[in-house]
Amino acid sequence: MKFLKELIPYIVILIIVILIRSFLITPIKVNGQSMYDTLTGDEIMLLYKIGEIKRYDMVVADLIVDGKKDDTLIKRVYGLPDETIKCENGNIYINDHKIDDPYATNETEDFEAVTLGEDEYFLLGDNRTISMDSRIIGPVHRKDIEGHTNLIIWPFNKFGVIE
C-alpha cells in the first residue's frame, strides 16, 4: 500500500505531461529546406495546438494523399478561409488586393486564382522554388493543420521566437 501511495504523484505527473503534449504543446523537428532561410531544416520547435491561425503564421500540416496522411509539412499561411488568392507577375493578391510578401526568399511563380472554402487555408513555403505547398497540393483543411509554431528550442544558438 505504501508503494502505491508513493507511485501516485508520478502517475499524476505522467498523465499531465501526456495531456499537455496531446492537446496543448509538443516539440516538432523541422526537416527540409522549404522554409529557408527562416528555418534551415535542423531546428526543433514548439508546436502550439490551440489558438487562432493568422496570415503569415507558420503551421504544421498533414499532407493527405488518397485520404491518408502521407507526410507532415511546415509552411506559412497566406490565404485564409473564404478568401481568393492568386499570384500575377510575382505579386500575391488576396481578394484582388496586393499583399506584402516579406518572407519569400525568391520570386513566386504565377498561379491561377484559388477561392478557399470556409475551413481552408493556402500555405506557401518561404523558399518558393523548392517548396511543395498549396500551389501543388491545393488548399489545406483546418482539420489537417496540427497547430502553429514560432519558437525554436534547439539548437541553442537559434533559441527564441521567430516570425
Conformation bin of residue 32: beta by default, left when phi > 0, alpha when psi is -120 to 50: left
Q: How many domains does the chain have?
A: 1
CATH code of the domain in which 71 resides: 2.10.109.10
Supply the range of the domain harboring residue 141.
2-161
Q: What average pLDDT does the structure give for the chain?
A: 90
- Alpha-carbon distance of 72 to 40, in angstroms, equals 16
pLDDT (tens digit per residue) in 47-89: 999 889 999 999 999 887 767 777 789 999 999 999 999 999 9
Confidence of residue 13 (pLDDT cuts 50, 70, 90): confident
The confidence score (pLDDT) of residue 77 equals: 97
Contact call for residues 121 and 79 (beta carbons, < 8 A)? yes
**Cβ burial, residue 32 (10 Å; 0-12/13-18/19+):** middle
The confidence score (pLDDT) of residue 14 equals: 83
What sign does the CA torsion over 9, 12, 14, 16 have? negative
Q: Which of 34, 86, 131, 134 is catalytic?
A: 34
pLDDT (tens digit per residue) in 92-132: 999 999 999 999 998 899 999 999 999 999 999 999 999 99
What is this structure's pTM? 0.86
Whether 75 sits among the annotated catalytic residues: the reply is yes
> Is residue 99 classed as helix, strand or coil in its secondary structure?
coil
The confidence score (pLDDT) of residue 90 equals: 92
Q: Which of 75, 86, 131, 134 is catalytic?
A: 75
